[in-house]
Amino acid sequence: MELRKYIFRRLIEIAIIFFVILTVLFLLFRLAPGDPVTRMVDPNMTPEDAEHLIEQLGLDQPIGLQYLYYVKNFVTGNFGVSFHYGQPVADIILNRLPNTVLLFTTSIILSALFGIFLGKIAAWRKGESTDTWMTIGALICHTVFLPWLALILIWLFAYKVGWFPLTGMISAEVWIDPEAGFLEKAWDIVHHMILPLGTLFMIHFGSYLLIMRSSMLDTLKEDYILTARAKGLEEKTIRNHHAAPNAALPVVTSVGLSLAFSINGGALTETVFTWPGIGRELVFSVSNNDYPLAQASFLLIAAVVLLANLVVDVLYAYLDPRIRYE
Amino acid sequence: MTKFNPIRIIAFGVLLAAVALAGCSQKEPAGMLRVGLSEEPRTLNIWLASDANSRKILSKIYQPLYQHDPETLELIPWLAADLPEYDPETVAYTVRLRGARWSDGAELTSSDVAFTAKLIKEFRIPRHYSRWKFVTRIETPDKRTVRFFLKNPKAIFRSRSLTIPIVQQKEWEDIVRIARTKEKPLAELLNHQVESPVGTGPFVLKQWREGAYLHMVRNPYFFGTGKTIAGRQLGPHITDIVVKIFGTSDVAILALKKGTIDMFWWGIQPGYLDDLRNQDDIHVYFSEKSALYFMGFNLRKPPSDDPHLRRAIATLIDKNFIISRILQGFGTEMYSIIPPGNRYWYYPEVEKYGAKLDRESRIRKAYDILTEAGYSWEAPPIDDAGAVIPASGIRLPNGQPMERFTILTPPADYDPHRAISGLMIQEWLRDVGMPAYSRPMAFSSLLQQVKGRHDFDTFILGCGKLSTDPDYLRIFFLSANDKPRGWNMSGYRNPEFDKLATESSQAMDREERQALVRKMQEIVLRDVPYYPIYDPLLIEAVRTDRFTGWVEMLEGIGNIWSFTQLKPISRDS
Amino acid sequence: MALLDVRNLSIGYQTRKGFLRAVDSVSFSVEEGKSLGFVGESGCGKTTIGMTLMGLLPKNASVMADQIMYKGRDLLKISPEEMRKTRWKDIAMIFQAAMNALNPVQRVGDQIVEAILIHEPALDKPAAQERVEALFDLVHIPRERIRDFPHQYSGGMKQRAIIAMALSCRPSLIIADEPTTALDVIVQDQILDEIKTLQKELILSILFISHDIAVVADVCHTIAVMYAGQIVEYGKREEVFEAPVHPYTKALLGSYLTLGTEKTQLEGLNGETPNLINPPKGCRFCDRCEATGPACRMEIPDWIDVSRTHKALCCKIT
Ligand SMILES: Nc1ncnc2c1ncn2[C@@H]1O[C@H](COP(=O)(O)OP(=O)(O)OP(=O)(O)O)[C@@H](O)[C@H]1O
Ligand SMILES: [Mg+2]
């Protein structure tokens, strides 16, 4: 089958690109200044200690050899142990990833759904006040500084009004309580998620609204929309059945890639909301030269993004019959 | 017309949920202390833990033989029964144990202590090894007695070596045996996952839900319960400690104000003070830190290899301005390398350079130092009439114009105080015509440049959490430590100092050592390889409505004395 | 009675530069089973008329007319909802840009079924599909192509599919707006033949729009020649094609004779069509007319009846 061949070819391409990224990442982190040992001004750490540690971490070996080990370990699925956590990198990532997916991926899905929905309406009502307000609102949300918005929302809804917990993902008080049942705990997570989700939603939905709106405006100029109208279709049918699906096509790419990138979380959001996601680990690992953690996290993102690209392309072919892969 | 409008439905749902929850808040047990941390601990493996937060947790679990008295900072027997006995004949210390129990109920014995020391030596545990490598032999004559034989007398043994946390042989024995056989034994040991650490401290870890909280409960076997040590009756009286994480101080302070936590265990920026002072149930503590924020010079290359220039620069720095304006008053001027909070070792009678002088006098004094040393100018800072004027074109004693003089600082987002201080110092140096440039640099790059490559003119760094023992004075300036990654970042080489330093490390008489350490401080401030600037104040805030009894100490209230003495306020009253 | 009778129809567009009178008091009628052809240069308002009849003018357009009587109803007076129901059911339209008139992501057959079902809700889907099959037979597209997507069709097939779609609800009037412009000559002829046959077989009324007078003459019973928003000559095919009276019609025919069916600048016609925002006071064609005289610029031309069925708008004809 052609599609199968195409996917196969793309997978080989992806493997090659991935290998290049793997190498570039390795070099990037090794060339970055500093080492994992000298990161604090602590007179207890003698140069002998530092060298011993460097040797124990295997960083004293020639860089070529380190690279070979790195590739070998990687191929065998051994991602190494974090220098600072002393934990297998895979464990750290697996621990954080679900939290990131829960918050960030959900937020992308929600904001994409709403953004597309509202963008459709805005374009349909182009020039009316609905459109003007939606567009202005989207632009404002899109440009607002996230930590600022987050802090405002926390202050207002968590501190002043007290509807939501301040930050975090769960309340210690609920989870320590041996009597708390599954439902109570599940609700506790949802309850903690609302504010960060709302913040991310506000930041993201604007861009989807704007993309959808402009795509929809282009689509509405198409001749087949006129045909649909001439056929005597109801306006709603034209909008939802002929214009929106076609207009949403280019948005799919954007959403697909955002979804892929969402797994790297966001250091700012995670910091403000103390959300135990992967974004802060990324920043931490890079700034503290925790090579195994940094490499594995970035490779995970690279892999997901590359695969998501493929999925989006295949999905596109499925959604748009004009596109066929040979 | 029924139209599906997702916005309205979701908004309604959220509102409903929120309203449903608005009223209900959790009731926590009276003895549960809730502490806010700025970051999660990274590990519970005591040998790996190098981050402040891991140590905060572990310090409630693993205990040393000796603690410091909160007021005098004197050694207080902790797991030990009394102060160590030194035998100069055999160069041996004998420590008798108090008789404590591990949190699993087993008895702490001399072999646990010996095991810990041997582990450090065998695996050359970073940060500990240098304090134990001179111990040649350890004897355990009986269950309660340990004897340490030293290669030669070491002054730091009492306060530096005997204050390391003791681990349980039973917990670590197997791990050590396996690690020993591995190709990278230390890495193996550091990477060991400790899930429930066994300690002798007042608390044990009950649960750590990664990414969310830590739950510690009272250790029923804690040796101190009911005892009076250092004149303090110990509890602990709190039943649980719940540690919550707050990514930003902003939210942590909201949590404190709201009563979600009872203490925020992290230094607070002065900007929050006004707000906190207005709160009824919040008390703010100001503690001295055992820290040194200083300017370091590169003595390996011109122009900073010239002590006259260093003295002139020291004269030009207005510490009072830095403290009052940049630190907003929350810090103390530092004159010596040892912070004033460390009363026994601190020596104030050192050369103070520009202290108490106004800007013009400082320029005049620096000008005098420089002219005397042979510096000249195209336009000197003092004109013929003796007035201070803008200077330019400073030339070194050899007649060469001074080249770009760089002041490396950490970036403003890492530490605004140091970055701004760098800028101010740049301006002050320009007052005497020096082509000074302050340059903020990412922290790891800065360390590499200064400590690894020795490629710099000057830098501003801070050294937090200096030990109570002044041995760092020796470490910072000993000629032997002038090597890549060595702590003599300045490249200071002075045989006179080296001799004193070595003597001080072997002076077993405390007063004798004090005299030597004073002399060392004097020499350092004479030659100015480092010029101390400030020691910031630690600002910490707690709620006063649920607990009382915080103990103030150097480095803040989060000490073992606080956690063993803190009492819940009874609710009935 | 005529199927469609339009009296004094004027259409204007509100544009940024001013009010553009795209169509200026045109009157025409279409008899049942007959076809009327509109011919004229680009921009003269042909499509605008078609769109008006479909009720599909953009928002910036405004319509004025004494009446647009269709089957005894005045299309100007019915509600938008009624207009919607009239579209395709009564009046279908084949658009100028047929190449893109089909939704690219839906199957051709489905798009036709959709049109059928919206107007005949009583019909079930299989029945509608059967009708599509019949329609495909009628326009000579193999049935197995029903489930194809538009991009799988050739240009001619797309045009046939659209014709099939236009016929799907059995309308009485079909507006064919340059149905063949985008096609090559051979396919063009095939399509035109097909339209002619269908018209005869199904007794359709067609309002045929083209810039090519030969094509119009080939297909239509009556011809309306348009210039700058006005009908300038109106009459039976034979009358207009063989004995034109208006100089513009003559010029159109001249270009046809010399250049065949190729679309080129009309021979002998230099200059541009007049600006419709500020049209000249007198005859709109006078600037380009060979026979123009001083009166043409000043006087508003009057209709001259050449015969009972043939008339022209010109001051020069007596
Ligand atoms: N939506 C609109 N807004 C403003 N002006 C318009 C609009 N549509 C058409 N026009 C103008 O109205 C006039 C008539 O346009 P129309 O499309 O009816 O011409 P046409 O005879 O169909 O031309 P062609 O042969 O190019 O299709 C032109 O001058 C055109 O510029
Ligand atoms: Mg047209």
Distance C73 CA to ligand 1 centre (A): 27
Single-letter amino acid, residue B528? V
> CB-based burial of residue C123 (10 Å sphere; 0-12 exposed, 13-18 middle, 19+ buried)?
middle
Task: Indicate left, alpha or beta for B188 from its phi (over 0: left) and psi (-120 to 50: alpha).
Answer: alpha
The predicted structure's pLDDT at residue B8 = 60
Type and span of the H or E element at B117: helix B110-123
| Same domain as A106, residue A70 | no
| Same domain as A142, residue A25 | no
Neighbour count for residue A59 (Cβ, 10 Å): 17
Q: Is B in contact with C (3 or more beta carbon pairs below 8 Å)?
A: no
| Same domain as A226, residue A174 | yes
| Same domain as A71, residue A137 | no
Distance from CA of A209 to the nearest CA of B (A): 14
Question: Tokens 């591995």 appear where?
Answer: B182
Which of C165, C177, C50, C118 lies closest to A235, judged by CA?
Answer: C118
- Tokens read off for A145: 């500084």
Closest CA in chain A for residue B482: A47
Neighbour count for residue C275 (Cβ, 10 Å): 13
Are the Cβ atoms of A232 and C115 closer than 8 angstroms?
Answer: yes
The residues whose Cβ lies within 5 A of ligand 2, an ion, are C 47, 96
Reply yes or no on whether the pLDDT at C266 is more than 80.
no
Q: Give, in degrees to the nearest 5, the angle at Cα C12 between C9 and C15.
A: 175
Asked whether A321 and A313 are in contact (CB, 8 A), the reply is no
Ligand 1 near C279 CB (within 6 A) = no
The predicted structure's pLDDT at residue A325 = 66
Report pLDDT digits (tens) over A25-58.
999 988 887 788 876 678 888 888 988 999 998 8
The predicted structure's pLDDT at residue B2 = 42
The minimal CB distance from C105 to the residues A231, A234, A246 is found for: A246
Residue B3 makes CB contacts below 8 A (sequence gap 6+) with: none
Question: Is A172 in CB contact (< 8 Å) with chain B?
Answer: yes
Question: Is A173 in CB contact (< 8 Å) with chain B?
Answer: yes
Closest CA in chain B for residue A41: B463
Helix axes A106-124, A244-261, angle to 10 degrees: 150
Number of domains in chain A: 2
Are the Cβ atoms of A173 and B26 closer than 8 angstroms?
Answer: yes
- Tokens read off for B176: 């050590």
User: Domains of chain B, with CATH numbers?
Assistant: 6-58+201-286+539-568 (3.40.190.10), 64-171 (3.90.76.10), 292-536 (3.10.105.10)
Rg for chain C, CA atoms, rounded:
20
Mean pLDDT of A159-173: 90
The predicted structure's pLDDT at residue C211 = 86
Residue A303 makes CB contacts below 8 A (sequence gap 6+) with: A18
| Closest residue to atom 24 of ligand 1, CA basis | C42
Contact list in C for residue A246 (CB cut-off 8 A) is 103-105
The region of weakest confidence among A66-75, A245-254, B16-25, B395-404 is B16-25
Residue A298 belongs to what domain range?
90-319
Question: Tokens 């003119």 appear where?
Answer: B457
Contact pairs from chain A to chain B, CB under 8 Å: 206
Contact list in A for residue B22 (CB cut-off 8 A) is 161-163
Length of chain A: 326
Distance C49 CA to ligand 1 centre (A): 10
| Same domain as A291, residue A161 | yes
The predicted structure's pLDDT at residue B144 = 94
Rg for chain A, CA atoms, rounded:
24
Contact pairs from chain A to chain C, CB under 8 Å: 70
Question: Tokens 């009037």 appear where?
Answer: C173
| Same domain as A216, residue A126 | yes
The answer to whether residue A324 sits within a structural domain is no
Are the Cβ atoms of B192 and A38 closer than 8 angstroms?
Answer: no
CA C95 from chain centre, in angstroms, equals 9
Instruction: Using the atom order of ligand 1, give the atom closest to the CA of residue C57.
Output: 1
Contact list in A for residue C84 (CB cut-off 8 A) is 232-234
Q: Which residues of chain B have pLDDT under 50?
A: 1-3, 22-24, 573
Report pLDDT digits (tens) over B339-387.
988 889 999 999 999 888 999 999 999 999 999 999 999 999 998 888 8
The predicted structure's pLDDT at residue C268 = 55
Report pLDDT digits (tens) over A181-207.
889 999 999 999 999 999 999 988 899
Report pLDDT digits (tens) over B503-521.
999 888 889 999 999 999 9
Which of A20, A41, A75 finishes a domain?
A: A75
Are the Cβ atoms of C95 and A234 closer than 8 angstroms?
Answer: no
| Same domain as A94, residue A58 | no
Contacting A residues, span 292-311, partner chain B, CB-CB under 8 Å = none
Report d(CA A295, CA A69) in Å as an integer. Answer: 13
The answer to whether residue A196 sits within a structural domain is yes
The predicted structure's pLDDT at residue B30 = 85
The answer to whether residue A241 sits within a structural domain is yes
Cα dihedral across residues B120, B126, B127, B129: positive or negative: positive
Q: Which of A225, A231, A322, A323 to mutate to test the interface with C (most CBs of C within 10 A)?
A: A231
Question: Is C54 in CB contact (< 8 Å) with chain A?
Answer: yes
Q: Give, in degrees to the nearest 5, the angle at Cα C70 between C66 and C73.
A: 75
The answer to whether residue A202 sits within a structural domain is yes
Q: What is the largest CA-CA distance in chain B?
A: 101
| Closest residue to atom 14 of ligand 1, CA basis | C45
**Helices within C62-169 (DSSP H only):** 80-86, 108-119, 125-138, 155-167
Report d(CA A106, CA A154) in Å as an integer. Answer: 20
| Closest residue to atom 7 of ligand 1, CA basis | C13
Contacting A residues, span 249-268, partner chain B, CB-CB under 8 Å = none
DSSP B404-453: -EEEEE--TTT-HHHHHHHHHHHHHHHTTT--EEEEE--HHHHHIIIIIS
Instruction: Using the atom order of ligand 1, give the atom closest to the CA of residue C40.
Output: 21
| Same domain as A195, residue A299 | yes
Contact list in A for residue C92 (CB cut-off 8 A) is 230
The minimal CB distance from C114 to the residues A230, A231, A246 is found for: A231
β-strand pairing of B92-96 with B145-150: antiparallel
Reply yes or no on whether the pLDDT at A287 is more than 70.
yes
Contact list in B for residue A154 (CB cut-off 8 A) is 251, 254
Report the share of chain A in percent with pLDDT over 90: 50
| Same domain as A113, residue A247 | yes
- Tokens read off for C109: 């057959």
Burial code of B259-268, b = ≥16 C-beta within 10 A, e = fewer?
A: ebbbbbbbbb
Report d(CA A175, CA A181) in Å as an integer. Answer: 9
CA A188 from chain centre, in angstroms, equals 23
Asked whether B547 and B239 are in contact (CB, 8 A), the reply is no
CATH number, domain at A301? 1.10.3720.10
Ligand 1 near C158 CB (within 6 A) = no
Show me where the domains of chain C are located.
Answer: 4-90+171-313
Ligand 1 near C224 CB (within 6 A) = no
Are the Cβ atoms of B50 and A166 closer than 8 angstroms?
Answer: no
Q: Give, in degrees to the nearest 5, the angle at Cα B310 between B309 and B314.
A: 115
| Same domain as A10, residue A119 | no
Report d(CA B162, CA B153) in Å as an integer. Answer: 14
Q: Where are the beta strands (DSSP E) in B278-410?
A: 282-288, 292-297, 331-333, 376-379, 392-395, 405-409
Which of A14, A43, A75 finishes a domain?
A: A75
Residue C90 makes CB contacts below 8 A (sequence gap 6+) with: C70, C71, C171, C172, C173
Asked whether B100 and B79 are in contact (CB, 8 A), the reply is yes
Distance from CA of B192 to the nearest CA of A (A): 7
Distance from CA of A57 to the nearest CA of B (A): 6
Distance C81 CA to ligand 1 centre (A): 26
Q: Give, in degrees to the nearest 5, the angle at Cα B149 between B144 and B155.
A: 105
The answer to whether residue A133 sits within a structural domain is yes
Instruction: Using the atom order of ligand 1, give the atom closest to the CA of residue C46.
Output: 21
Q: Which CATH class is domain C4-90+171-313?
A: alpha beta
Distance from CA of C85 to the nearest CA of A (A): 6
Are the Cβ atoms of A172 and B484 closer than 8 angstroms?
Answer: no
Question: Is A233 in CB contact (< 8 Å) with chain C?
Answer: yes
**Helices within B227-303 (DSSP H only):** 249-258, 273-277
Single-letter amino acid, residue B327? L
| Same domain as A57, residue A104 | no
- Tokens read off for B423: 């800028």
The answer to whether residue A80 sits within a structural domain is no
- Tokens read off for A91: 């464990």
Are the Cβ atoms of A151 and B250 closer than 8 angstroms?
Answer: yes
Which of A75, A99, A134 finishes a domain?
A: A75
Cα dihedral across residues A93, A95, A98, A99: positive or negative: negative
Report d(CA A256, CA A235) in Å as an integer. Answer: 29
- Tokens read off for A283: 């920043």
The answer to whether residue A325 sits within a structural domain is no
Q: Which ligand is nearest to the CA of C41?
A: 1
Report pLDDT digits (tens) over C159-200.
889 988 988 888 989 999 888 877 788 888 888 888 888 888
Which of A321, A3, A213 lies closest to C111, judged by CA?
Answer: A321
The predicted structure's pLDDT at residue B488 = 93
Distance C256 CA to ligand 1 centre (A): 23
Mean pLDDT of A249-275: 87
